[in-house]
Amino acid sequence: MGELTMRDVYLSVEGRVQGVGFRWFVRERARRWGLAGWVRNMTDGTVRLVARGHPDDVTGLMGDVHRGPEGAWVTGVLELPIEPDEQFPEPFTIHR
């Protein structure tokens, strides 16, 4: 058995993603995938999130993020560089 490889991502989600339950959706999906991290609304209207976990599970969450919950309209998902001291809380949480 090989060493478990973890994947970290930092995403900025654009579109109609605030006021539609997007953070709650991301938190619930991330927890189902067994990921650590956080999600928050930004003042520019985007939603940002960091996630850490098994690469397949991170990919699964990224697919969920591209679709979003009912009522959301995702127009773009950008992958950003992760800060070296980034924290990945468990369980996955909503930052206000």
Catalytic member of 7, 23, 48, 52 = 23
Task: Please indicate whether residue 23 is annotated as part of the active site.
Answer: yes
Is the pLDDT score of 61 beyond 60?
Answer: yes
Q: What is the pLDDT of residues 5-47, one digit of tens each?
A: 999 999 999 999 999 999 999 999 999 999 999 999 999 999 9
> How many domains does the structure of the chain reveal?
1
CATH code, domain with 27: 3.30.70.100
pLDDT computed for residue 35 by the predictor: 98
Q: Which of 7, 31, 40, 41 is catalytic?
A: 41
Residue 11 covered by a domain: yes
Band of pLDDT at residue 93, cut at 50, 70 and 90: very high
**Is 31 within a domain?**
yes
Say if 20 falls within a structural domain: yes
Q: Which domain holds residue 70?
A: 7-94
- Residue 72 within any structural domain of the chain: yes
CB 19 within 8 A of CB 1: no
> Can you read off the two tokens belonging to residue 74?
């995702």
- Helical segments of 1-96, H only: 22-33, 55-67
- In angstroms, rounded to a whole number, what is the distance separating the alpha carbons of residues 5 and 13? 25
Q: Is residue 33 part of a domain?
A: yes
Give the predicted TM-score (pTM) of the model.
Answer: 0.94
